[in-house]
Amino acid sequence: MDFFDLVASVITGWNLLFLAAGVFCGIIGGALPGISPSMTIALLLPISLYMPASYAVMLLIGAYQGAMYGGSISAVLINTPGTASAAATAFDGYQMALNGQAGKAIGMSLTASCTGGLISAIILIFMAKWLAAASLKFGPAEYFGVMLLALTLIAGVCGDNMLKGVAAAALGLLAACAGQDPIVGSDRLTFGIFSLFDGFAMLSVFIGVFAMSELLTQLKQKPEALDLPPELMDYKKDKLTLAEYWSQRWNMLISGLIGTFVGILPGVGGSTASFLAYAEAKRRSKYPEKFGTGVIDGVAASEAANNGVCGGALIPMLALGIPGDVVTAIMVGAFVVHGIKPGPLLFSQNINEVYTIYVSLLLSTVFLLLIGMLFLPLVVRIVRVRKSILFPCVFILCIVGTYAARGNLFDCAAMLGFGLFGYFLRSNKFQLAPFIIAFVLGPEAELNYRLALRISDNNYMTFLEKPISAVLLLLTVVSAVFFVRRSMKKA
């Protein structure tokens, strides 16, 4: 069969139905805090085992794409990132919602998700083998270079006060230190609490610092103010325009590429991708000072990047059999049961299945757009609920979501603690972004730094002897100088 016959044979009514069902389930799962994309896939996994292989592929790929977008809905509307990947979306998305632009923010997030997903799908289809081979050149030293470069981008999200930004980032690194030492396995900062053995759960930190601290901040208002019906705004105008979408084309392209690249690296997840893209969008921007106050660029960058991860993570999975993230790891299990064995032989032995995956990935972005559009007007209504009703619901959702992620009550306590901590940061005019980004990237940087040194017998030159790592370190220095000069100019 030639290419077009193959593609046409994949596009059947039932296949499309399951793809749509997958996207729908993904959006719901992603939007519920505590149900991560990986848990959404894990939930669908038992069902998918009873279906023919192509339906299962459609269902799971659709759900992956949908869940990556779904997380932004709750991030924008109630400042509670439904998934870790959507945490960066909350920075500007929630502010947009407060400015009466919830519909615009979610519209941007939806279209950026589709665009990011499409970019990574195209890259997957045309460059999978080459990129997978290139990704193998990245060992611990190179990973450390990527992480270090990413950490300097924190300087870009510090806001006006660099010192406070660095302090918040240092606290983020400190919080990330808690838990088992990644190399020798000894306890660090666990204070004998063995629920801390794995450190703080990412979601409990995100929900605490974003959502819970927001609730605490709102408590400062008079009770009567919370009971007022929200100001009537012109909801008809609260829509994303084509011009606004088009103005983000370069941003979405670059963010989508960042997401795809991060997705290819095994073990680095969607949250790293969206923070990187967010920080990079801010660095590039002509109005970086407005980031965090509700600019559409921030939402577009973060969401294009986390859907870019989908196609990216599938690259090493299809070409090498190495899943690029947790979701694709679960997917491998499902595919194997159906006789699809991802790996170097897939392209020669199972070319039909490869096309099924390609088509499902491309079409899932279309379905995401359609289904997302359908539900957009519905979900945006949440902002019309008066705060005295909305906030208690958000509070319950925070607790339940944190508990559901790992089934551990300690995480709920940690979430409340981080809520107080986030409130402290906000009321003292610290930026939240440096704290969160350092918390996410710190452990990655540490692990790879120590592994690189372990492999090279503590030879620090290893970082300079490897060409890729040397280039990344050079870029790190350049980017650090850039930020220092920019902040000196301002001062």
Partner 1 sequence: MVKHVCFALFLCLFAVSPAAEAQAANYPRKPLEIVVPYAAGGGTHIACEILVPGADKFLGQPLQVTCKPGAGGAIGATYVSKAPKDGYTLLYTTLSLSIAPYIGKVGYKVDDFIGIAQCSDVASVIAVRSDAPFSNTREMIAWIKSNPGKFTWSHPGVGSSLHIQGANVFYQAGVLKNTKDIPNKGTAPGIAAVLGGHVTAISSFLPALSENVKAGDLKVIGVVGDKRLNELPKIPTFKEQGVPAMVTSWRGVFVHKDTPPDIVKHLEQAFAKIIASPEYKERNKKLGEPLEYAGSEAFTKLARDQAKDMELLLKEMGLAVN
Please report, as ranges, the residues that interact with partner 1 according to CB under 8 A.
34-35, 38-39, 41-43, 45-46, 49, 135-140, 180-187, 190, 192, 194-195, 197-198, 266-267, 316, 320-324, 326, 329-330, 333, 336-337, 341-346, 396, 399-400, 403-404, 406-408, 447, 451, 454-455, 457
Nearer to partner 1, 39 or 105 (CB): 39
Buried/exposed code over 372-398 (b: 16+ C-beta within 10 A; e: otherwise): beebbeebbebbeeebeebbeebeebb
Q: Which one-letter amino acid corresponds to residue 239?
A: K
Task: Give the three-class secondary structure for 150.
Answer: helix
Q: Measured from the CB atom, is 233 or 451 closer to partner 1?
A: 451
Secondary-structure breakdown of the chain: helix, strand, coil percentages, each rounded to the nearest 5: 75, 0, 20
Alpha helices in 345-408 (DSSP H): 346-349, 351-380, 387-406
Q: Which is nearer to partner 1, 230 or 344 (CB)?
A: 344
Residue 394 tokens, joined: 């958000």
User: What's the closest the beta carbon of residue 352 comes to partner 1, in angstroms?
Assistant: 17
Nearest Cα to 173, choosing from 426, 420, 436?
436
Backbone φ and ψ for 428, nearest 5 degrees, come out as -105, 20
The CA distances from residue 376 to 229, 244, 253, 370, 382, in Å, are: 21, 17, 24, 10, 11
DSSP state of 232: P
For residue 469, the minimal CB distance to partner 1 (Å) is: 11
Compare residues 454 and 485 and give the one whose CB is closer to partner 1: 454
Cβ proximity to partner 1, 136 vs 474, nearer residue: 136
**Residue 334 Cβ, how far from partner 1 at the closest point, in Å?**
9
* Pick 181 or 227: Cβ nearer partner 1: 181
Nearest to 220 by CA among 5, 459, 454, 426: 426
Q: How far is CA 423 from CA 226, 429, 447, in A?
A: 18, 10, 30
Q: Which residue, 186 or 489, has its beta carbon nearer to partner 1?
A: 186
* Residue pair 87/75 in contact by the 8 Å Cβ criterion: yes
CB of 187 to partner 1, least distance (A): 6
Q: Which of 245, 312, 240, 241 is nearest to 274 (CA)?
A: 312
Q: Comparing C-alpha atoms, which of 409, 353, 262, 394 is closest to residue 15?
A: 353
Query: How far is the C-alpha of 7 from the C-alpha of 427, rounded, in Å?
Result: 56
Find tokens 């073990």 and name the residue: 267
Least distance in Å: CB of 392 to partner 1?
Answer: 12
The distance of closest approach from Cβ of residue 341 to partner 1 in the complex, given in angstroms and rounded to an integer, is: 5
At residue 296, φ and ψ (nearest 5 deg) are: -70, -25
Nearer to partner 1, 132 or 383 (CB): 132
Q: How far is the CB of 387 from partner 1 (least distance, A)?
A: 21
Q: How far is the CB of 448 from partner 1 (least distance, A)?
A: 10
When the beta carbons of 155 and 346 are compared against partner 1, the nearer one is: 346
Q: How far is the CB of 342 from partner 1 (least distance, A)?
A: 7
